[in-house]
Amino acid sequence: MSLIYDYSNPTAIHFGKGQIASIVKHINKDNKILVVYGGGSIKKNGVYDEVSKALNDFDWIEFSGVEANPSYETLSKAVELAKKEKVDFILGVGGGSVIDGSKYIAAAALYDEDGWAFLDGSAIIEKALPLGAVLTLPATGSESNGNAVVSKKSTNEKRFFGSPFVYPKFAVLDPSVMSTLSDRQLANGLVDAFVHTCEQYLTCPNTSLLHDGYAQTILKGLFTLANTWDNRKDPIWEENLMLLANQALNGFIGSGVAQDWATHMIGHELTAFYGVDHAQSLAVVQPSLLRVMIEQKSEKIAQMGENVFGIKNDNEAVIVAIEKMYQSVGVTTNLNDYESVDDKVIETIIPSLKAHGMTAIGENQNITLDICEKILKMAMK
């Protein structure tokens, strides 16, 4: 079947060193800006100073403390501030979590009820404040898409929302700000981008040479970065990770093709209940999911093996290659390696998936709760 799709990405990208100054091109001088950031690393790497300099002639306030998995509880305080101060523009400065949180703030600030309704599906975003992003940690691609994930600590929920109203107007991608990132952050970014690409590629055969070729180029690039991990502090290495992570989830490679996302749905539960980093949860779930669904995904796994890893006619070897790649950058694929995960993980995760309606997931909606349980058991090697 030929592809049929609609694609639009309205985010302007400013890539390269010194591009933070470009933010003023997109914000009206009479706008009141809320600058949102995380734990304060931007004050150590110079980004805060650059943003402050760029906004010197603007009226702006700030909100800090957005967590690595942005929480509804923290973001609600930012929403309250945005409403009280009659903010006109949201500027997220940080990684995917900060940018996701900024999207929630932008939408909830113009909503009279509880913004969690966007996450539980009881309300649809109909408007949002304009927002922009200054990326400091490449991983999620949130800087140029309309998606976000927010956690609710009180109920151990990690939920997703998406809307064209929360696409950033612009995104600044300056690889030079990555020099202070930890190995854990870099590894998580690489794994996250790899799985994002796989969720849109390792599904069903399609007719588009462009979509498959584009996805394979991203995957090969990330595999190359993993193989050159010792060079991770090299500016060119950092630049390539920022480019690849952005392209992995800017919407194009998934346009018109089947998408999976079951690894993410299961992984979100592991993060919500056990505090496992997002990318770490993906690394433990994905290989087991591929093994359980190997017959359904056989053609695309074989294609990936040949065109990304140079492996022919051995799908199990392809999955092993994925595991070794994650492990080579310090990310385990064994759920039992995380001390926070207890022996009740199955009886915790499966009911939560059911409660959230995740009873038939994957590209063919045939990954049932029983299959999810099988995947989790296999992940506990």
Q: What is the mean pLDDT of each run of 10 residues along the chain (381 residues)?
A: 89 98 97 96 95 98 97 99 99 98 99 98 98 98 98 96 98 96 98 99 96 98 99 98 98 97 98 96 99 98 99 98 99 97 96 97 98 98 80
What pLDDT is recorded for position 322?
A: 99
Q: What distance in Å separates the CA atoms of residue 213 and residue 228, rounded to the nearest whole number?
A: 22
By three-state DSSP, how is residue 63 classified?
strand
Please tell me whether residues 166 and 146 are part of one structural domain: yes
State the CATH number of the domain containing residue 346: 1.20.1090.10
Residue positions counted in the chain: 381
Final residue of a domain: which of 120, 154, 176? 176
Q: What distance in Å separates the CA atoms of residue 351 and residue 370, rounded to the nearest whole number?
A: 11
Please tell me whether residues 234 and 162 are part of one structural domain: no
Domain assignment of residue 2, yes or no: no
What pLDDT is recorded for position 164?
A: 98
Q: What does the H/E/C string look like for 267-333?
A: HHHHHHHHCCCHHHHHHHHHHHHHHHCCCCCHHHHHHHHHHHHCCCCCHHHHHHHHHHHHHHCCCCC
Query: Which residues make beta-bridge pairs with 148?
Result: 161
Please tell me whether residues 129 and 67 are part of one structural domain: yes
What pLDDT is recorded for position 180?
A: 94
State the CATH number of the domain containing residue 115: 3.40.50.1970
Q: Which residues constitute the domain of residue 47?
A: 12-176
Residue 215 is encoded by which pair of tokens? 């996805």
Please tell me whether residues 108 and 197 are part of one structural domain: no
What pLDDT is recorded for position 176?
A: 96
Please tell me whether residues 96 and 239 are part of one structural domain: no
Domain assignment of residue 6, yes or no: no
Domain assignment of residue 89, yes or no: yes
Please tell me whether residues 118 and 214 are part of one structural domain: no
Q: What distance in Å separates the CA atoms of residue 346 and residue 324, rounded to the nearest whole number?
A: 25
Residue 13 is encoded by which pair of tokens? 């990208």
Q: What residue has token string 């022996």?
A: 343
Please tell me whether residues 269 and 366 are part of one structural domain: yes
Please tell me whether residues 169 and 194 are part of one structural domain: no
**Phi and psi for 211 in degrees, rounded to 5?**
-60, -45
pTM exceeding the 0.95 threshold for the entire prediction: yes
Total domains in the fold of the chain: 2
Given a contact cutoff of 8 angstroms between Cβ atoms, the answer to whether 11 and 171 are in contact is yes
By three-state DSSP, how is residue 125 classified?
coil
Please tell me whether residues 128 and 218 are part of one structural domain: no
What pLDDT is recorded for position 3?
A: 87
Final residue of a domain: which of 124, 144, 176? 176
Given a contact cutoff of 8 angstroms between Cβ atoms, the answer to whether 127 and 110 are in contact is yes
Residue 219: closest CA among 320, 322, 328, 137: 322
What pLDDT is recorded for position 324?
A: 99
Residue 91 is encoded by which pair of tokens? 């500027």
What pLDDT is recorded for position 1?
A: 53
Domain assignment of residue 198, yes or no: yes
Final residue of a domain: which of 135, 152, 176? 176
Please tell me whether residues 244 and 345 are part of one structural domain: yes
Domain assignment of residue 1, yes or no: no
**Helix or strand holding residue 149 (H, E):** strand 147-152
Domain assignment of residue 3, yes or no: no
Please tell me whether residues 96 and 116 are part of one structural domain: yes
Please tell me whether residues 223 and 349 are part of one structural domain: yes
